[in-house]
Chain A
Amino acid sequence: MKRLWKILLPFASDNNGVCSVLYDCNALVLINDRGAAVTRTYHFAEQRDEPQRSVCRGIRLGELAFIIGHSDDFLNDYLNTLNSLPERPELLVLLHSAVSSLIGLDIKGIAHRLEEASGIPSIALETSGNQYYDNGISATLNALYDRFRGAPVLKKERKGVTLLGLNTLDYPCASQRKMIENIVCAEGYMIQNRWGMCTEPSAFAGAERAALNIVVSAAGLPLAERMQSESGTPYLALHELSAWDEPVGSGDVPEDRKIVIVGEQISSCVLRRLLRHLGAGAVTVASFFSMVKKYVEPQDRRLTSEDDLIDLLQDLSPSIIIGDPILAPLLPRSCTLLPLPHNALSGEYTSSQEKPNPFSTEWLKKAFEV
């Protein structure tokens, strides 16, 4: 049954995704939630070495005031929270909780009034705490682009690339993120921005100056498509870069092994490309999150529940699964799981573990020694 979780835990929510993008910003994230989900969000979403710069706060309204949803009450509470901070933030971000989303609280209107009252740029995101993190990342990038993008620039004045959707929920390993940057540089590009991490609002002023967007996760694709249609900035997906062919050898993975990768689509496509270089035959990508049609191969599958994954594995009878360790109870005994922690799935349980870089030759070769 869809949306019934008997073995797995539901994955990181859209509010987690927003907080992940804004982790490094001097931003105040205001969630229309009375405590529980807020603290969860900012305590569990991230396991980075550096401290969180943004601040997340909930709302302190009584139940009745919350349900009635009088915007003045919300506005006053936000302003009180803002005034209680030791440092003045550069950005205010309003998020829905499940309840405020359900009752249709006009957070966009409140954000507008909040900006007038505080003088700080404010944006509102239509999250609900009931979707997955990729929606949150995508919504944040789009909203920041809408709010802060600069004036259009002539094509000949454009240079460098923007990495769209680079985030720690999909790419928890620092050396993996560094490797992505190296690959992009090896392709001959100069990286201007990394949107999804280090997403300072001011960086969006130069959005139009990039000659190319490189989509690093599926969450970055909606903005890439918009920028292509609105300002003519072309985009490429990370796995389409030819530089991926260089670092790995070949011939280490037996061709007859069927492999299923369960993870974020773009990073899984990179992994598929590397595996094919190593000699793998059938490699299927499956994801519980957004999947972009143009990068989907015929056997790839979008998963909506744990039953979907079980069905997929029954259909394909793979010998190797690459995915988060929490998937293990769902796998048939005939499969071998190559654990690849995904923060959006098991982040809060594997925070103390060192995250591997699956794009490295060492990991790939070691993983396929089995």
Chain B
Amino acid sequence: MDRSSFVTPFAGRMRGRLLPLYLIPETHVLFVGPVDCARHHCRVHFLSGRMSILTPSDTDFALGKTEDMILQAVGEIASSSPHLVRGILLLSGCQARMLGIDLEGVCTRITQEYSLAAAHHEESRLCRTEGRSYELPGLLESLLSMLPPPTEGKNGPAALFGHSCPELDSVFMANGIAHLQSCFSWDSFDRFAALASAPLCVVTRPDLEGAGKRLAQRWGTKCLCLPVSYRMEEIDAQYAQLSAHFSYPVKTKAKEEAEAAIVRTREALKGSRLSLNLSHVARPWNLLRALVEYGLHPARVFLGYAPPGAGCTASEKLDRRAILELCPRIEIDLPKLPPHPSFEFTYPSNAAEIVAMGSQAAEEELFWGYSSVVRLMEYLKPEAQES
């Protein structure tokens, strides 16, 4: 059996401190922290030449020299980097958090002294393992503070906090919006900066709702939250939301395809009990609830190291409550303790019982709307045939 798991676009691949480098071009990352933490940063950063590490000594921290050291380091980076540096992202470790170093103030000084955009993101895991273990949402919110004010009003491209997908693109194209600028495809710092002048921000990643709302709050951008869902009822509601936004009924043929796919899969599975590995699914409870509503029978679920609720929306919590009421006997595997936040998924001892749902899912980043239901059903069916 293929030992893979169902992966949505929201998990894996870009993690941790790699994110800012991939997210915003012409940005340099400066990590400020102890040797112990800094040593194990991914070497890719250094090969890219877009990351540096500052390790002030304990004495430097104690004597309050850190802020000045950071400014000096930024000056050196800006003058000696082989790459164009237009923005600095300060990642701070546990010492800065403990001492309450004013890194927001340092960012302001960086902008004043070097005319560089600057943002601060706290990277303290040492004394802060409570809270989210998933880094993108907080990081994106931090990066938004780097945005310069819009120069020419709200006439930039509409923003997308999520991955581009054909179904969503076609909806917007039919309503006169030819391009949604995904936060994963900024190809220059200017593209990122154009976010401030975006008239509309569509959020399809549930964990990026906070970032969307922050954009709305700071720059007055209209925010449409349409988190990926596997439930027909919720997708219908999202289309209704889009219709209200465009003041025009938005229709799609994809719904019929999704309904047909559900029927086909239900027949193929013939009431089989499903063991599912959903460790990389953005909304596992929503997916489970959808399966139950479609007449399928999830019996056992492995949820991986992403704890339920981490980065989840209120609706996901509702889904969780619903699934526990609908299927009280469903067996849910949660690991006791992650060995390390950045460790990848490892299969449990009962891996042979886990129904894999298609390794190619990891390569797809095209889920949204009814097409996500179609795709889910397509992945379930061959596994049923195999088992």
Interface residues, chain A, CB within 8 Å of chain B?
A: 1, 3-13, 15-16, 33-37, 39-41, 44, 62-63, 66-67, 97-99, 101-103, 128-132, 348-349
Contact = CB atoms under 8 A, between A and B. Distances in A.
B340 interface: yes
B127 A9 contact: no
Interface residues of B, number: 42
Contacts of B62: 102
Given A1-B76, A36-B341, A102 B37 contact: no
Given A35-B125, A99-B98, A129 B36 contact: yes
B93 A98 contact: yes
B137 interface: no
Top 4 closest pairs, chain A to chain B, by CB: A129-B36, A98-B34, A130-B34, A13-B36
Contacts of B94: 97-99
Interface stretch (B51-59, B183-191, B321-329): B51-59
Given A4-B73, A34-B129, A63-B127, A98 B36 contact: yes
A258 B49 CA distance: 30
Contact of A39 (B95, B127, B339): B339
A62 B33 CA distance: 21
Most B-side CB within 10 Å, residue of A7, A10, A34, A63: A10
B43 interface: yes
B3 to A, nearest CB: 23
B135 to A, nearest CB: 13
Contacts of B341: 35-36
Contacts of B55: 3, 5, 10, 130
Contact of A13 (B35, B52, B98, B128): B35
Given A1-B72, A1-B76, A5-B52, A99 B126 contact: yes
A128 B58 contact: yes
B347 interface: no
A70 B33 CA distance: 25
A35 B340 contact: yes
Most A-side CB within 10 Å, residue of B35, B81, B95: B35
Given A5-B55, A39-B339, 12 more contacts: A3-B54, A4-B53, A8-B46, A9-B46, A11-B35, A34-B125, A34-B128, A36-B341, A37-B36, A44-B40, A99-B127, A349-B43
B63 to A, nearest CB: 12
22 contacts: A1-B73, A1-B76, A3-B55, A6-B76, A6-B77, A9-B38, A10-B35, A33-B126, A34-B125, A34-B128, A35-B125, A39-B339, A40-B36, A63-B127, A66-B127, A98-B95, A99-B126, A102-B95, A102-B98, A130-B58, A132-B35, A348-B40
Given A4-B52, A6-B52, A33-B126, A130 B73 contact: no
Contacts of A7: 46
B174 interface: no
A11 B39 contact: yes
B53 A10 contact: yes
B247 interface: no
Contacts of B339: 39
B85 to A, nearest CB: 12
A3 B34 CA distance: 10
Given A128-B34, A132-B35, A102 B53 contact: no
B121 interface: no
Contact of B130 (A4, A8, A62, A99): A62
A98 B55 CA distance: 11
Nearest to A329: B46
B123 to A, nearest CB: 10
Contact of A15 (B36, B46, B53, B56): B36
Most A-side CB within 10 Å, residue of B38, B61, B62, B94: B94
A10 B35 CA distance: 6
Contacts of B46: 7-9
Interface string B97-121: 0110000000000000000000000
B9 to A, nearest CB: 27
Most B-side CB within 10 Å, residue of A41, A66, A129, A132: A129
Contact of A36 (B37, B57, B60, B95): B37
Nearest to B61: A102
Contacts of A67: 98, 127
B315 to A, nearest CB: 28
Contact of A130 (B36, B53, B80, B129): B36
A39 B340 contact: yes
B49 to A, nearest CB: 8
B94 to A, nearest CB: 5
Contacts of B35: 10-11, 13, 129-132
A5 B53 contact: yes
B69 interface: yes
Nearest to B339: A39
A179 B159 CA distance: 64
A16 B76 CA distance: 30
B41 interface: yes
A18 to B, nearest CB: 11
Contact of A9 (B39, B95, B130): B39
Nearest to B30: A4
A168 B36 CA distance: 18
Contact of A40 (B40, B73, B98): B40
B127 A4 contact: no
Given A9-B41, A98-B93, A41 B126 contact: no
A101 B127 contact: no
Contacts of A35: 125-126, 129, 340-341
Contacts of A44: 40
Given A4-B53, A39-B340, A101 B58 contact: yes
Given A67-B98, A99-B95, A130-B34, A10 B58 contact: no
A307 to B, nearest CB: 9
